[in-house]
Amino acid sequence: MDNETHTKTLFMSKYPPITGREADGSFRLELPLVDNLGKNPWTGKEEKEAYEVRWSGPAAEEFWNAHRADLVSGAILRTQIQRLRARVKPNRFPPQAEITARAIGVEVVPKRTQHPAAAAA
């Protein structure tokens, strides 16, 4: 169960990605992402869930070099993630959970554009 892979479409949050190096010297990319859950039928409010996704290694570095400019707030990412964990951020009140995960693959999804027929109408 720990290595079960989940494919999720997530969005870049307003916070920028963080890069660094692991203890072994490999490249590390941390992506602050958001899952837009939609409107809660009981409260009527839009709900979102925060994700902190870490990706290490040569593939992460290649992705960063190719898509650094694309990783802006609202960018759509299709992620393949493992080891999902819910953690509570201690410095927030009220306490807010964040999902942490390890990425094994990430791709940028182009934003939808309006169909030419709909634009002409």
Q: What is the residue-level pLDDT of the chain in tens, covering all 121 positions? A: 467 888 888 999 999 999 999 999 999 999 999 988 888 888 888 888 888 999 999 999 999 999 999 999 999 999 988 887 877 766 666 666 677 888 888 989 887 755 555 555 5
In this structure, are residues 28 and 56 in contact, taking their beta carbons and an 8 Å threshold?
Answer: yes
In a domain, 106, yes or no: yes
pLDDT of residue 12: 93
Global model pTM greater than 0.95 = no
The sign of the CA dihedral 77, 82, 85, 90 is negative
Nearest-CA neighbor of 17 among 70, 71, 62? 71
Q: Residue 116: what pLDDT?
A: 58
Q: Is residue 120 part of a domain?
A: no
Count of domains for the chain = 1
* Domain containing residue 51: CATH number: 2.40.50.140
Q: What radius of gyration, in Å, describes the C-alpha atoms of the chain? A: 16
23 within a domain of the structure (yes/no): yes
Q: Is residue 100 part of a domain?
A: yes
Parallel, antiparallel or unpaired: strands 46-56 and 18-21 = unpaired
116 within domain boundaries: no
Q: Does 117 fall in a domain?
A: no
Question: Residue 1 domain-assigned?
Answer: no
Residue pointed to by tokens 């819910």:
86
**What is the extent of the structural domain holding 94?**
6-111
- Is residue 121 situated within a structural domain? no
> Are residues 100 and 51 in contact, defined by beta-carbon separation less than 8 angstroms?
yes
